[in-house]
Amino acid sequence: MKLVAKKVHQKTHMFTNIENQVSSKLINWSSGYFDLFLQEDLKDKLIIYCPNGSITIQYYRETSELKLTVENKRIENCIEYFSRILQLYQNMNEIVNHPNLQPSFNVTITAKRQNV
């Protein structure tokens, strides 16, 4: 019997000029989204072990880059997991940068005196 190595599909994306707090949020949100999968949380790195592959999110402090790598034996799963992480990143940016959700310090308090 001959052993045959299965082909592993890989998709990689490098985010540039990413702040540390943004990378921490993406790692946290991704960890929550894929909560049912086995995970390994290291300093500035998250590895999510999914069926037939893995998702790795790593932040490089010295270059302010965030690297997303998805590996899977099935191309469909590779694309699906990759798209989910990119959608999480997009949703996170929409929520964090939404003008109605930004803290506002221009609060005015008015009180009316009632005559009794």
Nearest to 45 by CA among 59, 55, 28: 59
What's the domain count of the chain?
A: 1
What residues make up the domain containing 86?
9-101
Q: Is 70 contained in some domain?
A: yes
In the three-class reduction of DSSP (H, G, I as helix; E, B as strand; rest coil), residue 53 is classed as strand
Q: Is 86 contained in some domain?
A: yes
27: domain CATH number is 3.30.310.50
Q: Is 114 contained in some domain?
A: no
Give residue-wise pLDDT tens across range 50-105.
999 999 999 999 999 999 999 999 999 999 999 999 999 988 888 877 555 444 44
pTM of the entire predicted model: 0.76
